[in-house]
Structures are given as structure tokens and as C-alpha cells.
Amino acid sequence: MHISEGVLSAPVLAAGWAITAAGLGAGLRKTQAEELPKTALISGVLFLISLVHVPLGPSSIHLTLLGLAGTLLGWSVIPALFTALFLQGLLLQFGGLLSLGVNTAVMGSAALAGYAVFKAAPRRFRLPAAFVAGFTAVMTGAVLVTAALFFSSGNLALTAGLIFAANLPLAVVEGIITVLLMLFLARTLPDYVFGQTGI
């Protein structure tokens, strides 16, 4: 879901930075001091997981864990993502610093969509909701990337459509992995995740 430098138009870049600034403000206000170690840990996981790419047709996909990250962090996921993406752009030229605002806005919105879906589910349906959270996060990100490319240039419409299609199988895999990771964390670190997941 990383958009490289030189692809997006100036208005889309500006909109991305405006959304990211608002999200960072909200995320930093809602992040409690005792949550900082967990936020930093998940930021590190997000940094690493998106570096492993699998070729798929004209594009490539990678796990995002955005549904899980959103569920565990809530609004704190925005600062966690911003940090991970900033370091990727700075150290690895992955994504880029100009497109950092759009990439953070896209991924942050996707993570919060997964968080909202999970939190809306009754407690007895938390495991199915974990699947839907992972699926929803990927598809929300795919829609937003598609929109960012489309509104930057009509010539990118076909590319945007291909990227959207490539993320469909990933969304299913993410849903399954989100369930498995939540079960694993619930068994190994119950005090760490129960308050957020109820599992």
C-alpha cells in the first residue's frame, strides 16, 4: 500500500498531509504513557512486515497487519504507522517522504476501519470480527490507494484497478492471520491484549 514518490499530484499530497496531521494530533492525545512500549513494539512490527513482498501479476502484495494493529492500538496506530513509514522512507527509500502523508493517511484510515469493525461486534463474535477487521483494513487501504492514484491522474486508472484487484486475495489471508495472531496473543500475553480484544 506504499505509494512511491513522483506519482501523486500536489493536491492529493496536500490532502494526505492534512489528514495525517489531524490523525497524529488525535493519536498522540489518546496515547497513554503506559501504552508507549506496546505502541513502539507494534510500530517495529509494522516496519518489518511490509518489507516482505510477494509478486502477484503486475503488482506485488505484502502483509500489513493493519486490522490487528488498529485493534490493539486504536488511535495510537496513527503515530505508530507514521514512525514506521518515516523510517522506511528515510532509511530504505521505501515509499518516500513526500508521499508519507498520503501513505500514513491511507494505512491509518485502514487500521481504524478494522478497529471500528472489531469494536462494533458483540463480545461473543470477537473471533469472526477479527477476520472481518483484517479483511476490512486491507480493502479500505486498497480503495484509498485506488482513489489517490485516480485523483492524481486519469492515466493511472488502470494501474489503480489492478492494485485493487491484487489486494483481494491478500484481504482474505490478512483476515485469517489476524484471527490466528489474536488467538496466539490471547494465550501468551492475555494481560497485554485482553483489554483491547476481549479474547
Mean pLDDT by groups of 10 residues along the chain of 199 residues: 83 96 96 91 91 60 90 95 93 86 96 95 89 96 89 75 81 94 87 65
Predicted pLDDT at 58: 43
Residue 72 is assigned to a structural domain of this protein? yes
The total number of structural domains that make up the chain: 1
pLDDT value, residue 24: 97
Residue 87 is assigned to a structural domain of this protein: yes
| Domain assignment of residue 118, yes or no | yes
Amino acid at 173: V
Q: Which domain holds residue 74?
A: 10-197
Residue 130 falls within a domain, yes or no? yes
The reply to whether 3 falls in a domain is: no
The pTM for the full model equals: 0.89
pLDDT score for 161:
75
